[in-house]
Amino acid sequence: MSIPETRWRCEQFHQSRTNANNGCQIINAQIHSDYEESTVESNKGNMVSLEKKSPEERLNICRKYYFGGFAFLPLLWLINAIWFYKQAFKVEPYPQQAQIRTYVIRSAIGTLAWLLIIIIWNVLFQVFRTKMGPAGDYLTFVVPRGYY
């Protein structure tokens, strides 16, 4: 049954009985646990919850993202830094945390470096595209029509 309908039924129940709160709460609790179960059931395999993984598995994931980012994939580094930030600095220490911490820091540095490179290149291209002569045109993906 869907949630709006059950809420309405709850209210009806509440109006007709004096100590109907209990009944409603029970129904509400039932609904919420049903919902959580169903979501966990259906999302199994999509969303990785780090709390459920063992520390070795966490280190493994972090390492994979760290090395993957070297293949000119700065977004992997960005995600690595953000996702493992809590694990590296906020959670209670555990043996693998030191290594995870170095990976997170280096990923953050790498992201910043890439950001800088991309911004600088973008600005340079926009300013010097026409002054570069043929090189500017060959680098342009969609050649502008009608203006220089």
**Where along the sequence are the contacts to other proteins (CB under 8 A)?**
2, 4-5, 134, 137-138, 140-141, 143-148
Q: Which is nearer to other proteins, 57 or 137 (CB)?
A: 137
Q: Nearest distance from residue 131's CB to other proteins, in Å?
A: 12
List CB contacts of 35: < 8 A, sequence separation 6 or more: 3
Rg (CA), the chain: 27
Q: Nearest distance from residue 25's CB to other proteins, in Å?
A: 24
Q: Which is nearer to other proteins, 14 or 106 (CB)?
A: 14
Cα gap 97→81, rounded to integer Å: 14
Tokens 């995870």 belong to which residue? 100
Q: Which is nearer to other proteins, 72 or 138 (CB)?
A: 138
Q: Nearest distance from residue 31's CB to other proteins, in Å?
A: 16
Cα gap 17→6, rounded to integer Å: 16
List CB contacts of 130: < 8 A, sequence separation 6 or more: 136, 148
Q: Which is nearer to other proteins, 102 or 140 (CB)?
A: 140
Q: Nearest distance from residue 148's CB to other proteins, in Å?
A: 4
